[in-house]
């Protein structure tokens, strides 16, 4: 479980494909000694399992993860290349501050950026969600996009907008994101369960 609060800006240092799996080596500023084999790390919104760790690399430490076929089919991980920056977040510890909202790291879809409007120090992004997911997105609600917890400003059909503040633009990959790019969307967990419960009639 995560919160959508990015704690490091990592970078893909290597990619190896074998059969239908991509093994990614990711450079990070996290201390190598603090990363356990089998730990979950959100990589631009995708929950991936650490398979190896070592000291060194361009940022201080390196860890590897495997992206399986399901992940490659649903997320942007299929098109990640060496040098690409990633929003990283460690798994939420029990009792830790919940700064964003509850995020599982199970991406629902890779969706397009319809537009980006830079408004001085802030930037307004408009995204397009597929019909099956649009019903989970509401104005003033939360979404996780590329591993970042964001507040929805406006909703019109499948289109919705988010306004990013200077801090978010500076410490995440969002400064690199523009019109036509695709980002990983995870809808709000509570909205998903509320909609599921509404499908069943109330017992007498």
Q: Is 161 a catalytic residue?
A: no
Active-site annotation holds for 68: yes
Which among 49, 51, 52, 154 is annotated as catalytic?
Answer: 49
Any catalytic annotation for residue 151? yes
Could you say which of 39, 104, 106, 138 is catalytic? 106
Contact 167, 100 (CB under 8 A): no
The residue among 55, 50, 59 whose CA lies nearest residue 23 is 50
Active site residue 2: yes
Given 3, 28, 40, 71, which residue is catalytic? 40
**Catalytic residue from among 27, 43, 47, 144:** 47
Establish whether 106 is a catalytic residue.
Answer: yes
Question: In this structure, what token pair is assigned to residue 9?
Answer: 């800006």
Kindly state the greatest CA–CA separation across the chain.
63
Q: Which of the following is catalytic: 7, 23, 104, 151? A: 151
Whether 49 is a known active-site residue: answer yes
Sign of the CA dihedral with 129 first, then 131, 132, and 133 last: positive
**Active-site hit among 17, 68, 73, 132:** 68
Task: State the catalytic residues.
Answer: 2, 40, 47, 49, 68, 106, 151
């Amino acid at each position: 479980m995560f919160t959508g609060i990015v704690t490091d800006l990592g970078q893909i240092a290597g990619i190896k494909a074998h059969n239908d799996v991509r093994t990614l080596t990711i450079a990070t500023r996290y201390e190598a000694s603090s990363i356990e084999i089998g730990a979950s790390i959100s990589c631009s919104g995708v929950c991936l399992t650490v398979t190896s760790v070592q000291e060194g690399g361009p940022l201080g430490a390196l860890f590897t993860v495997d992206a399986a076929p399901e992940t490659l089919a649903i997320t942007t991980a299929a098109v990640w290349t060496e040098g690409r920056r990633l929003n990283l977040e460690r798994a939420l510890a029990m009792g830790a501050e919940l700064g964003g909202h509850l995020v599982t790291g199970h991406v629902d879809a890779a969706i397009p950026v319809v537009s980006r409007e830079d408004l001085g120090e802030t930037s307004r992004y408009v995204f397009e969600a597929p019909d099956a997911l649009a019903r989970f997105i509401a104005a003033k609600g939360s979404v996780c996009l590329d591993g970042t917890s964001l507040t929805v400003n406006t909703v019109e059909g499948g289109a919705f907008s988010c306004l990013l503040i200077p801090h978010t633009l500076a410490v995440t990959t969002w400064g690199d994101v523009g019109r036509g790019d695709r980002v990983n969307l995870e809808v709000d967990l509570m909205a998903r369960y509320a909609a599921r419960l509404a499908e069943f009639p109330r017992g007498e």
